[in-house]
């Protein structure tokens, strides 16, 4: 059995990617199972989805804790301590990362011991679809890695997307993009050296009692959401050109997240740690002092 | 202290008055309404210094009681039956806030068909919510239990809300002598509510009841509630001891009636336990070594006390005044589960009686006791038995014919 | 951190509320951020933008009583964006939660158990699913009891938190998850949006207003005006929702402006029942301009133009402004 886990952000298409893969495997005659896990319907929030593919009936349910293959659709998730997309990956398993980095760079950058493949899926999505919705593309990549047929992938994309969208042209573009991704990577061979996971075995404990001052679901800290670093969500970043900025403060008033601050000279600037990249500021700036550039996340960008 | 003839509802109101409750959001429902009318009058007359507000539903009422308690006020509310169920979502919610409010539930059977008289499906539906539950047999116990409930709920080892339960009609509207303690005496027993975990104030912002994502956090918070409820078993005993010292009346998690030397035990709750006690007396006169165990603390469930009291008995009959449709008596299941691993355990019989306030007659008790004795002789507990007589069946036939049911 | 112009904490008790005069322009908006970034709200959330300005107007001595909705997730353990207190209740009962807190604060202050300096404004925060549908009863009760509280409804015209389904606030001919346009019903939702402003105003509360995230000056001045009244102070913010409305996240403000400029969203206030419009477009734009940029109305234009539905929407807007004698 192959166990695949997709990690993306809400709206990016991890759930649909897992369905595309599950359907393609089903069409190829395998037993298949796919399953999304998301906290709440929220664009940008971490989302995981699982697909199992097997020649025998599948006796598992729920989130895959020890995957053979992980598809990281959003590179920034690798730095999210709550998500930990590569957790549990088996030795010899494969991690595919949506990044502009080479596999070697990514392996070092994110300290991954499993095999790493990379593909800039976002760029392909923007070029071929015009949006960074990567469901069918990630499904295409995954289908290739597990060795499914191109025909089944094509049929699966058509089937799944026709349930969601009515635009025939967009559907065709997705089929093309999925197949492009399918053929864009050379799959590594999954060489599981052991069925053990890299994760340490955990022990069941007896939870001690704590008084309600501690154990009620109340938060005594204040204003600590900036620790969540929602700057990770950005696909595009607002880019400043101060030559034309008139310090009109419109951008400051328009930012839903309060991520545009003002320096001592009265010039606004972006809190990139938290800016989600909605680009309202770019849209609203009356002097075109803000542009947008594709975000390429590295550690250097995150955290100013 | 003075003694007065009080209904169960009036005794409840006295408990609230003596606990010097700060805040009382209400919503009327039969047979609870007399409690809130009594409190309204006292507040209007100026003999009670509480803020009182009639809400738009039990759901709102429970929310307001919970949020006031979360702000640091001692809160009380009361409901019954459909009202309890209408507010059901908030039972879980406010228990999760860890707020020690006290609510009286005046038991009444649940619709459909809609009815007025009591059984315990309403209060037992709330058994998994996090509310502790004290079930009362007498009007005196209602008053006393409210005082003890605040003391128990507000203990830092507990901090969970409590339901004090009394039967509609058979207790709520029934007058009997009740000792009403002096307020000074109560103040000695029940200190001011000054929570360290729940407040809303400018100097110390707090986000109460945040969402959690993921089962690990959720499990932690829920299990802490469970452990707090388990702590309440020991805290309750302390409270009982202090109550006895202060007021001279003794309570425990369970009450044994003629239990010493008894071979056959009835287990009951609430006001009909009195009828069970009479039946025990009758049985003893017939030479049958019967006894009765009344379950007073239903949450947390007093497993150890129950085991100690009944595991070596010959047979136990649980008389459930409730029915879990598709399973049977709720308390029967709970008691069976705590006896299962005992080396010595009694034969356990199940009876459903008193649904919708249906009386349990001496004849019916005799039937039950005979069943226990036969059960022991034949080593067969049989299946759960609804206590329903031939006369009732005939009467029901007449009603069905009048309803055009042939 | 996003803290320019932050109020200095002085160890708690003396946290000063901002004193605000009516403001004239965007430059006058108080710089203090009382809700910090990093929330899980979607990028470009119109409701969050409205709330951010409401929070500036309200200051920090508040307790928010939140109903189930998108903003439930503003505080996910162990994070909160707020420097003020908060309580999550449930979908139907945030106004009842506000009642309990307001009453408890009053009692504790009266009985000398709480320093009056510790007092808080009580602020209900709900989405439209709660405000228009499930909590109508508890809201009506709270207004009727003249509860001294603020109520902010972020109205994104659907059950957004569950993935965009029809609510009582969903406008006519809108596509949602439960009103999908199809062969039998090509226009999507067939019901009109409830007039919550009128429903609430029938109680004649001291202060009631509609607000827009695109009109922060109007918004803040409305809160400023409301402050003088004891009793219910109610606000409905039309809040463009990128995933729900099918718009790019950068279009939120643009859409909020278009809603006002086309007359779809009337900016107004009511003091003890008497209604005044606060922003009236000099020349109304055609409603189509507002509709055609939103995915939730795309089926009104393609594959077949739903002429009758489009006319009906425009006519209803015209009728509203005619009725108020403001259509120039």
Structural domain total, chain C: 1
| CB contacts < 8 A (A, B) | 59
Q: What percent of chain B lies above the pLDDT cut of 70?
A: 100
> Is beta strand A290-294 parallel, antiparallel or unpaired with respect to A236-240?
antiparallel
Q: What does the pLDDT read at residue A36?
A: 87
- CA dist., res. B131 & res. B158, Å (int): 11
Q: What does the pLDDT read at residue A197?
A: 47
Q: In this structure, what token pair is assigned to residue C295? A: 């995915």
B207: nearest CB among A39, A210, A219: A219
Q: Is residue A204 part of a domain?
A: no
Within 8 A by CB and 6+ apart from C102, the residues are C122, C147, C148, C149
Partnered with residue C82 across adjacent β-strands are: C35
- Cα distances from B38 to residues B136, C100, C134, in angstroms, run 20, 21, 32
Whether residue B89 contacts residue C90, with contact meaning beta carbons closer than 8 Å, is answered with yes
- CA dist., res. C37 & res. C80, Å (int): 10
C96 chain-B contacts, CB cut-off 8 A: 25, 55-56, 59-61, 63-64, 67
Task: Say if residue B212 is exposed, middle or buried (CB neighbours under 10 Å; 0-12, 13-18, 19+).
Answer: middle
Q: What percent of chain A lies above the pLDDT cut of 70?
A: 92
B67 with C95: Cβ contact below 8 A = no
- CA dist., res. B125 & res. B392, Å (int): 28
Chain C from 65 to 104: CB within 8 A of any B CB: 65, 72-73, 75-80, 82-90, 92-93, 95-101, 103-104
* Residues A180 and A240 occupy one common structural domain: no
Residue, of C259 and A164, whose pLDDT is higher: C259
Q: Is residue A106 part of a domain?
A: yes
Residue, of C94 and A9, whose pLDDT is higher: C94
- CA dist., res. A268 & res. B124, Å (int): 60
C83 with A226: Cβ contact below 8 A = no
Within 8 A by CB and 6+ apart from A224, the residues are C36, C38, C78, C79, C80
* Residues A140 and A44 occupy one common structural domain: yes
Q: What does the pLDDT read at residue C328?
A: 59
- 3-state DSSP call for residue B169? coil
Q: Name which of A91, A280, B127, B379 is nearest C247 in CA terms.
A: A280
Q: In chain C, which residue's Cα lies nearest the Cα of A260?
A: C2
How much is the CA Rg of chain C, to the nearest whole Å?
20
Q: What does the pLDDT read at residue A39?
A: 62
C5 chain-A contacts, CB cut-off 8 A: 262
A222 with C83: Cβ contact below 8 A = yes
Residue located via tokens 């279009």: C251
The ipTM is 0.96
Residues B351-370: what's their mean pLDDT? 97
Q: In chain C, which residue's Cα lies nearest the Cα of B68?
A: C100
- Cα distances from A8 to residues A115, A178, A234, A236, B348, in angstroms, run 19, 17, 13, 16, 56
Q: Is residue A220 part of a domain?
A: no
Largest CA distance in chain C: 68
Q: What does the pLDDT read at residue C114?
A: 97
Chain C from 106 to 135: CB within 8 A of any B CB: 106-108, 111, 113-115, 117-120
| CB contacts < 8 A (B, C) | 171
Q: Which CATH class is domain B2-247?
A: alpha beta
Structural domain total, chain A: 2
Q: Is residue A100 part of a domain?
A: yes
Q: In chain C, which residue's Cα lies nearest the Cα of B72?
A: C104
The H or E element that residue B247 is part of is helix B215-247
Q: In this structure, what token pair is assigned to residue A44? A: 């940008």
Query: Omega before C314 cis (within 30°)?
Result: no
Q: In this structure, what token pair is assigned to residue A243? A: 């030559």
Q: What does the pLDDT read at residue A116?
A: 94
Residues of CATH 3.40.50.920 domain(s) within chain B? Answer: 254-392
Interface of A with B (CB under 8 A): 39-40, 207, 209-213, 215-220, 222
Q: In chain A, which residue's Cα lies nearest the Cα of B229?
A: A209
- Cα distances from B96 to residues B93, B226, C86, in angstroms, run 5, 11, 15
Q: Using 50, 70 and 90 to split pLDDT, how confident is the model at B311?
A: very high
Q: CATH number, domain at A279?
A: 3.30.70.20
- Cα distances from A79 to residues A38, A109, B29, B227, B268, in angstroms, run 18, 10, 56, 36, 59
Chunk chain C into consecutive blocks of 10 residues (it has 328) and report each block's average pLDDT, rounded to whole numbers: 38 44 92 95 96 97 97 95 97 98 98 98 98 98 98 97 95 97 95 98 98 98 97 98 96 98 98 97 96 97 95 97 84
DSSP string, A41-93: S-TTSEEEEEEEEESS-----SS-SS-SEEEES-GGGGG-TTT-TTTTPBTT-
Whether residue B115 contacts residue B108, with contact meaning beta carbons closer than 8 Å, is answered with yes
Output the CATH code of domain B254-392.
3.40.50.920
Q: What does the pLDDT read at residue A304?
A: 33
Q: Is residue C95 part of a domain?
A: yes
Q: Name which of B128, B107, B131, B85 is nearest B32 in CA terms.
A: B107
Q: Is residue C163 part of a domain?
A: yes
Distance of CA B363 to the CA centre of its chain: 27
Most confident of A132-146, B210-224, C18-32, C209-223: C209-223
- CA dist., res. B225 & res. C301, Å (int): 55
Q: CATH number, domain at A132?
A: 3.40.920.10
Q: Name which of B33, B84, B81, B30 is nearest B54 in CA terms.
A: B33
Q: What does the pLDDT read at residue A164?
A: 84
Residue located via tokens 């002092």: A289
Q: CATH number, domain at C82?
A: 3.40.50.970
Check pLDDT > 50 for residue A2: yes
B209 with C89: Cβ contact below 8 A = yes
Last residue of some domain: A184, A204, A237? A184
Q: What does the pLDDT read at residue C14?
A: 39
C44 with A250: Cβ contact below 8 A = no
Residue, of A164 and B381, whose pLDDT is higher: B381
Residue A245 belongs to domain spanning: 226-294
Q: What does the pLDDT read at residue A192?
A: 61
Residue C76 belongs to domain spanning: 30-323
B221 with A213: Cβ contact below 8 A = no
C93: nearest CB among B60, B202, B209: B60
B207 with C119: Cβ contact below 8 A = no
Partnered with residue A240 across adjacent β-strands are: A290
Check pLDDT > 80 for residue A61: yes
- The whole-angstrom distance between C156's CA and the closest CA on chain B is 21
Q: Is residue C210 part of a domain?
A: yes
Q: Is residue A192 part of a domain?
A: no
């Amino acid at each position: 059995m192959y166990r695949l886990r997709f990690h993306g952000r809400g709206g990016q298409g991890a759930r649909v990617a897992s369905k595309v893969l599950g359907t393609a495997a089903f069409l190829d005659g395998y037993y298949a199972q796919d399953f999304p896990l998301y906290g709440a319907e929220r664009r940008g929030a971490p989302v995981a989805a699982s697909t199992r593919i097997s020649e025998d009936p599948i006796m598992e349910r729920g989130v895959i804790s020890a995957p053979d293959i992980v598809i990281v659709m959003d590179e920034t998730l690798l730095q999210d301590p709550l998500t930990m997309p590569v957790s549990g990956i088996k030795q010899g398993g494969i991690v595919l990362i949506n990044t502009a980095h080479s596999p070697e760079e990514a392996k070092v950058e994110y300290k991954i011991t499993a095999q790493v493949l990379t593909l800039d899926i976002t760029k392909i999505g923007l070029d071929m679809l015009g949006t960074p919705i990567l469901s069918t593309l990630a499904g295409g990549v995954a289908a290739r890695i597990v060795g499914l047929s191109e025909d089944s992938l094509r049929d699966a994309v058509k089937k799944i997307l026709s349930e969601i969208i009515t635009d025939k042209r967009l559907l065709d573009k997705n089929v093309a993009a999925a197949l492009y991704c399918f053929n864009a990577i050379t799959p590594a061979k999954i060489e599981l050296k052991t069925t053990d996971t890299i994760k340490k075995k955990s022990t069941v404990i007896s939870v001690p009692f704590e008084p309600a001052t501690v154990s009620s679901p109340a938060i005594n800290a204040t204003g600590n959401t900036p620790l969540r670093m929602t700057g990770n969500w950005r696909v595009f970043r607002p880019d400043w050109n101060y030559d034309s900025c008139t310090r009109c403060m419109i951008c400051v008033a328009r930012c839903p997240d309060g991520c545009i601050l003002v320096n001592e000279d009265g010039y606004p600037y972006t809190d990139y740690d938290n800016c989600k990249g909605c680009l309202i500021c770019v849209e609203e700036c009356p002097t075109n002092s803000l542009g947008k550039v594709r975000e390429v996340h590295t550690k250097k960008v995150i955290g100013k | 202290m003075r003694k007065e003839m009080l209904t169960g509802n009036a005794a409840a109101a006295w408990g609230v008055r003596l606990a010097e409750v700060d805040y009382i959001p209400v919503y009327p429902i039969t047979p609870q309404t007399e409690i809130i009318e009594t409190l309204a009058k006292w507040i209007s007359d100026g003999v009670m210094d509480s803020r009182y507000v009639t809400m738009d539903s039990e759901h709102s009422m429970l929310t307001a009681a919970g949020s006031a308690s979360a702000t640091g006020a001692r809160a009380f509310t009361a409901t019954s039956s459909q009202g309890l169920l209408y507010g059901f979502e908030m039972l879980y919610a406010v228990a999760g806030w860890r707020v020690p409010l006290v609510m009286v539930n005046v038991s009444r059977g649940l619709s459909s068909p809609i009815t007025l008289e009591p059984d315990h499906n309403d209060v037992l539906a709330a058994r998994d919510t996090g509310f502790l539950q004290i079930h009362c047999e007498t009007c005196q116990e209602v008053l006393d239990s409210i005082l003890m409930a605040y003391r128990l709920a507000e203990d830092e080892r507990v901090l969970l809300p409590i339901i004090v339960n009394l039967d509609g009609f058979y207790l709520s509207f029934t007058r009997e002598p009740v000792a009403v303690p002096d307020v000074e005496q109560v103040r000695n027993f029940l200190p001011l509510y000054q929570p360290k975990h729940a407040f809303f104030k400018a100097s110390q912002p707090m986000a109460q009841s945040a969402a959690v994502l993921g089962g690990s956090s959720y499990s932690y918070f829920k299990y802490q509630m469970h452990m707090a409820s388990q702590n309440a078993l020991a805290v309750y005993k302390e409270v009982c001891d202090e109550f006895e010292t202060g007021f001279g009346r003794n309570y425990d998690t369970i009450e044994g009636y003629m239990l010493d030397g008894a071979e056959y035990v009835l287990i009951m709750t609430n006001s009909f336990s009195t009828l069970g006690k009479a039946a025990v007396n009758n049985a003893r006169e017939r030479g049958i070594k019967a006894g009765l165990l009344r379950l007073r603390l239903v949450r947390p469930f007093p497993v150890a006390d129950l085991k100690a009291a009944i595991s070596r008995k010959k047979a136990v009959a649980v008389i459930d005044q409730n029915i879990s449709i598709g399973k049977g008596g709720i308390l029967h299941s709970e008691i069976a589960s705590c006896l299962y691993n005992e080396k010595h355990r009694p034969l356990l019989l199940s009876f459903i009686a008193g649904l919708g306030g249906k009386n349990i007659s001496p004849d019916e008790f005799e039937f039950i006791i005979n069943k226990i004795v036969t059960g022991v002789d034949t080593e067969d507990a049989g299946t759960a038995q609804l206590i329903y007589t031939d006369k009732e069946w005939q009467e029901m036939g007449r009603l069905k014919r009048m309803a055009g049911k042939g | 951190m996003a803290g320019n112009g932050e109020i200095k904490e002085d160890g708690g008790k003396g946290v000063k509320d901002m004193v605000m005069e009516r403001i004239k322009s965007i430059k006058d908006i108080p710089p203090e951020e009382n809700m910090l970034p990093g929330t899980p709200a979607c990028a470009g959330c119109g409701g969050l933008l409205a709330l951010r300005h409401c929070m500036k107007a309200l200051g920090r001595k508040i307790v928010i009583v939140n109903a189930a909705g998108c903003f439930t997730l503003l505080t996910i353990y162990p994070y909160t964006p707020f420097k003020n207190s908060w309580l999550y209740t449930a979908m139907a009962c945030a106004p009842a939660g506000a009642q309990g807190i307001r009453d408890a604060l009053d009692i504790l202050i009266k009985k000398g158990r709480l320093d009056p300096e510790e007092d808080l404004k009580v602020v209900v925060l709900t989405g439209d699913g709660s405000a228009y549908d499930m909590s109508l009863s508890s809201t009506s009760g709270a207004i009727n009891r003249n509860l001294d509280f603020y109520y902010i409804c972020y109205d994104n015209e659907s059950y957004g938190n569950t993935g965009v389904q029809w609510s009582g606030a969903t406008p006519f001919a809108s596509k949602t998850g439960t009103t999908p346009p199809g062969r039998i019903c090509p226009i999507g939702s067939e019901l009109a949006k409830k007039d919550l402003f009128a429903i609430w105003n029938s109680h004649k509360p001291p202060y009631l207003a509609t607000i827009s995230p695109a009109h922060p000056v109007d918004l803040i001045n409305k809160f400023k005006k409301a402050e003088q009244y004891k009793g219910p102070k109610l606000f409905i913010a039309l809040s463009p929702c990128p995933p729900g409305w099918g718009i790019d996240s950068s279009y939120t403000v643009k859409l909020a402006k278009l809603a006002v400029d086309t007359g779809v969203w009337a900016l107004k206030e009511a003091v003890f029942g008497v209604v005044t419009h606060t922003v009236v477009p000099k020349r109304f734009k055609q409603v189509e301009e507002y509709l055609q940029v939103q995915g939730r109305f795309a089926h009104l234009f393609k594959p077949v133009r739903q002429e009758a539905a489009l006319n009906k929407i425009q006519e209803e807007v015209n009728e509203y402004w005619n009725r108020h004698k403001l259509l120039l």
